[in-house]
């Protein structure tokens, strides 16, 4: 049983911060690339941030300098620290694990609004 359990989403004002967490089970976590995707209304799912099993990171241009992905292999958990949030960041955010097979979390809503 592979499971990606997300937490930390919610409603925040523009300029605020949120920290998303994704706890993985059923995989050899340290061997997997981990990432965060988002899909807003009427949009395709897009990569937000990714970290390889070796620690190499990639970010969407729209979030560079504001978002930070990190992982704690001892806790089988990947995080997305989101700072200086904008209304355009409003989306459903999905945790993603990529290795021998690929897996998706259930998605968590992030709403940035005043």
Please, what is the average pLDDT of the chain? Answer: 97
Is residue 4 within 8 Å of 23, Cβ to Cβ?
Answer: yes
What pLDDT is attached to residue 15? 98
Q: Answer whether residue 54 shows pLDDT above 90.
A: yes
Confidence category of residue 76, pLDDT binned at 50, 70, 90: very high
pLDDT confidence tier of residue 62, bands split at 50, 70 and 90: very high
Buried b (16+ CB within 10 A) or exposed e, 96-107: bbeeeeebebeb
Arithmetic mean of pLDDT, 33-43: 94
Q: Read off the pLDDT of each residue in 68-78 and give the average, rounded to a whole number.
A: 97
**Distances in Å between the alpha carbon of 103 and those of 19, 87, 98?**
21, 28, 7
Q: What is the pLDDT of residue 41?
A: 83
What is the arithmetic mean of pLDDT over 8-36? Answer: 97
Q: Given a cut of 90, is residue 9 above it in pLDDT?
A: yes
Quickly state the pLDDT bin for 52 (edges 50, 70, 90).
Answer: very high
Q: In the predicted model, is pLDDT for residue 42 greater than 90?
A: no
């Amino acid at each position: 049983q592979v499971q990606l359990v997300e937490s930390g989403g919610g409603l925040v004002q523009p300029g605020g911060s949120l920290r998303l967490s994704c706890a993985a089970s059923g995989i050899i976590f340290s061997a997997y690339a981990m990432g965060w995707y988002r899909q807003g209304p009427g949009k395709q799912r897009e990569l937000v941030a990714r970290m390889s099993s070796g620690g190499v990171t990639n970010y969407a241009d729209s979030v560079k300098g504001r978002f930070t992905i990190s992982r704690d292999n001892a806790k089988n958990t990947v995080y997305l620290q989101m700072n200086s949030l904008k209304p355009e960041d409003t989306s459903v955010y999905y945790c993603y694990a990529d290795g021998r097979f690929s897996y998706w979390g259930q998605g968590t809503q992030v709403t940035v609004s005043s």
